[in-house]
Amino acid sequence: MEQTIIHHMETVRRITLQTIKKIPEEISDIIPKGFNNNIRWNFGHIAFVQEKLVFGLLGEEMNIPKDYEQFFGAGTKPVEWEEIPPPFADIAEVLTEQKTRIKDFIQGRFHEKLPTPFTNRGGITFYTVGEAFLFSFYHEALHTETIQRLNRSIIST
């Protein structure tokens, strides 16, 4: 079952990476009416949250650029950015490399208890590595769909 779950993570991430390749970076900072964030924020947010759910909750080093939390952490907004955010190529590289690190790290750890239960902004509490990891697929798919909605909204105007 563990290999099936890891394969599913790879499938979800492949879809995300295919999506970032299809979207022109020059539209990635547009925030259409009715949206709170832009395409770049959503891609970076996927990377940041995945890192936090897999590595951060276990107290492991989060091996992504330090500024990802200030740009893409929960509750951040592009309208509040005071510095230039990472380019698409950098975000795509983080997403690609992260998949490999997670695959190597997570095997055999699904039932491991988190040092401290974690409750996300939606009120869902995770007690094990596996619970947090499985939620990350839902989270990534949700933001990938938002990216696609943003893209459609931008190109239709």
Which burial class, exposed, middle or buried, applies to 47 when counting CB atoms under 10 A from its CB (0-12, 13-18, 19+)? buried
- Please, what's the b/e burial string for 69-87 (b: 16 or more CB within 10 A of its CB; e: otherwise)? bebbeeebebeeeeeebbe
Would you say 150 and 35 are in contact if contact means Cβ atoms under 8 Å apart? yes
The residue ranges of every structural domain in the chain are 2-155
Q: Write down the mean pLDDT value for the chain.
A: 94
SS3 23: coil
Amino acid at 74: A
Q: What is the pLDDT of residues 38-83, one digit of tens each?
A: 999 999 999 999 999 999 999 999 999 999 999 999 999 999 999 9
- pLDDT grade for 1, boundaries at 50, 70 and 90: confident
Fold for the domain defined by 2-155: Four Helix Bundle (Hemerythrin (Met), subunit A) (1.20.120)
Q: What is the pLDDT of residues 115-142, one digit of tens each?
A: 999 999 889 999 999 999 999 999 999 9
